[in-house]
Amino acid sequence: MNTSNESPRPVLIGGEWVVASSAKSFRATNPSTGEPIPSLFPVSDWSDCNKALASAASAFRESRNLPGSRIADFLDDYAKRIEGEKDALVALAHEESALPKSPRLADVELPRTINQLRLAAEAARNESWRTATIDRKANIRSCYRALGPIAVFGPNNFPFAFNSIAGGDFAAAIAAGNPVIAKANSSHPGTTEHFGKLAAAALRATGMPEGLVQLIYRTSHEDGERLVADPRLAAVGYTGARTAGLQLKAVADRVGKPFYAELSSVNPVVFLPGALRERGVKLAEEFVGSGLMGAGQFCTNPGLLLFIRSDETEQFVQTVVDKYTSTAAGTLLSPNVESSLVKSIQVLTNAGAQLLTGGTKINGPRCAVANTVLRVTGTQMLTDPHTFQTEAFGNAVLIAVCDSHQQIVSIIEALEGNLTGTIYSDTQGHDDHDYIKIADALEQRVGRVLNDKMPTGVAVSPAMNHGGPYPATSHPGFTAVGIPASLLRFAKLTCYDAVRESRLPEILRNENPTGFTWRSIDGKWTTGTIESA
């Protein structure tokens, strides 16, 4: 509650920055100092949500029929404005997240964000993602079209690339022709507000519908659930905490609404004996670099390592322990992340995991926990697989030392769904027989299989799958990264049976509206017209 005379920042609704309807407010915390950041942000009540929904529904009547080139113009203009505000955005995100200005924010994440928007613009302009399909004999035509207003809930660990008003879900939803109601993450509201100002300017400059992009910062749990359930909202993109995500998903499920959530993942990494014999010390160093990158606060952070008992395994474990002990712990994103990490470590140790190093909060105001390594046997892991795959989000790792390759396979089969799964193997092929067995099991538990490569990076590639079986995500058939595939989450397949050509969407008419969009005509992919197909 705001007890001072300071006014909270406005919310973006219907193309205007307006005073929020509620008197409740909050401040973000600087995780480097533990102190509140001065800017005050509102907690929106249902009145704000209702207005945003009404505006989004109105905007959708126009945006669903906009040519892809118009949408692309907005995305390109927005990307250019972000590029011009690089220094201000980096400074805000650094203060709110403690992530390094360089290289993380300025040299990696912000350029990635700009690139995503431009790739989304390219997909919107091309329109091949719509998968236009024409069956002339049956006189049936179909394509993917915009789904409706989308709510995007952004995470705390990527203030740029997954931001609710600038990140991957936002770009995909807009490129598909949908309005977006962005719900800022409470850890970086100032960064999100700055993005919102740039988005609003781009909307005006390109003549977009006023309610195409809207921004609120926080709601009560009740109003958040009511927002998700509202029939004016077509779908939700959510990246964040598992408990809150499942609560919102339950609401969406009750009303039959698509809810694309990224929830949790321990990202298992298997080190086969041949790889350890060949280059064990190098692999230990490679893992440490990945495991401690960004204080381990990546959704693809390798959090579970699987080995077969051997002298090389013991050397690997000791190297990791030594490096985790001697390396300064990074700053965590928020007090909530800090407390959640300590709690997860306690869950693992209470279940019988051996604490090799770390495990406690570092004294002082900074949000930080000592770099943590825990160890279990393969038998322990199989005795209580549910507990031992508790996600310790941050700079912590659980090492499971197994008796055999088959025990590793059994552990993998007992895992929940994950975003990634990695196998390190001998470069000369000596591990091939065991690799095949383990990879076969791993494929059923992850969205992305890696070989001899840490999973931390997620390339913005058309072939990328940033998804996986539940609870890594709520649907294993879709990806949050990888354009144009990511657009299909926010689209509906519409079929036109015996509809006159003049009444069809342009993409399904005889003439190819762009001249370069790929369409399937009588089973043949072509960019031509009906007459030349």
For the stretch 88-101, pLDDT in tens is: 999 999 999 999 99
Where helices occur in 45-186 by DSSP H, the ranges are: 46-63, 68-84, 86-97, 110-126, 168-175
Residue 148: is its pLDDT beyond 90? yes
| End residue of a domain, out of 384, 419, 451 | 451
Lowest mean pLDDT among 135-144, 205-214, 348-357, 428-437: 428-437
pTM above 0.85, yes or no: yes
CA distance 229 to 241: 19
Structure confidence at residue 6 as a pLDDT band (50, 70, 90): confident
Are 138 and 256 members of one domain? yes
| End residue of a domain, out of 398, 433, 451 | 451
Which residue's structure tokens are 């354009």?
483
Sheet holding 524-526, edge to edge: 491-497, 140-146, 133-135, 519-521, 524-526
Q: How many CA atoms lie within 13 A of 2 on its CB side?
A: 19
Is there a domain that residue 169 lies in? Answer: yes
CA distance 349 to 371: 15
| End residue of a domain, out of 451, 483, 518 | 451
Q: Could you give the number of structural domains in the chain? A: 2
262 assigned to active site? yes
Residue 340 in 3-state DSSP? helix
Are 102 and 21 members of one domain? yes
Chain Cα centroid distance, residue 155: 7
Is there a domain that residue 386 lies in? Answer: yes
Residue 253: is its pLDDT beyond 60? yes
Which residue's structure tokens are 């990494």?
269
Instruction: Give mean pLDDT, residues 431-460.
Output: 95
Residue 1: is its pLDDT beyond 90? no
Structure confidence at residue 5 as a pLDDT band (50, 70, 90): low
Contacts of 151 (CB under 8 A, 6+ apart): 180, 181, 182, 183, 227, 228, 233, 235, 236, 237
Instruction: Count Cβ atoms within 10 A of the Cβ of residue 386 and give its class: 0-12 exposed, 13-18 middle, 19 or more buried.
Output: exposed
Question: Six-digit token pair at 326?
Answer: 């001697």
Are 20 and 156 members of one domain? yes
Instruction: Give mean pLDDT, residues 198-213.
Output: 97
Instruction: Give mean pLDDT, residues 206-226.
Output: 97
Neighbours of 247 (CB within 10 A): 14
Are 257 and 282 members of one domain? no
Are 233 and 283 members of one domain? no
pLDDT above 70 as % of the chain: 99
List the catalytic residue out of 262, 312, 391, 416: 262
Chain Cα centroid distance, residue 127: 24
Residue with more model confidence, 352 or 6: 352
List the catalytic residue out of 95, 96, 127, 299: 299
Residue 531: is its pLDDT beyond 90? no
User: 189-206 vs 68-84: helix axis angle to the nearest 10?
Assistant: 130
310 contacts 278 by C-beta, under 8 angstroms? no
Contacts of 171 (CB under 8 A, 6+ apart): 75, 116, 117, 119, 120, 483
Residue 4: is its pLDDT beyond 60? no
Predicted pLDDT at 533: 46
Give per-residue pLDDT as tens, 23-47: 899 999 999 999 999 999 999 999 9
Are 240 and 289 members of one domain? no
Are 198 and 318 members of one domain? no
Predicted pLDDT at 484: 94
Are 241 and 185 members of one domain? yes
Average pLDDT, the chain: 96
CA distance 406 to 528: 54
Nearest to 79 by CA among 124, 127, 112: 112
Is there a domain that residue 424 lies in? Answer: yes
Structure confidence at residue 498 as a pLDDT band (50, 70, 90): very high
494 contacts 133 by C-beta, under 8 angstroms? no
Contacts of 266 (CB under 8 A, 6+ apart): 303, 304, 389, 391, 398, 415, 418
Are 240 and 343 members of one domain? no
The secondary element (H helix, E strand) that includes residue 42 is: strand 41-42
Is there a domain that residue 39 lies in? Answer: yes
Q: For residue 129, what are the CA distances in angstroms to 126, 144, 519? A: 8, 8, 10
Instruction: Give mean pLDDT, residues 300-312.
Output: 97
Is there a domain that residue 314 lies in? Answer: yes
- Containing structural domain, residue 409: 277-451
What CATH number does residue 116 fall under? Answer: 3.40.605.10
Neighbours of 87 (CB within 10 A): 10
49 assigned to active site? no
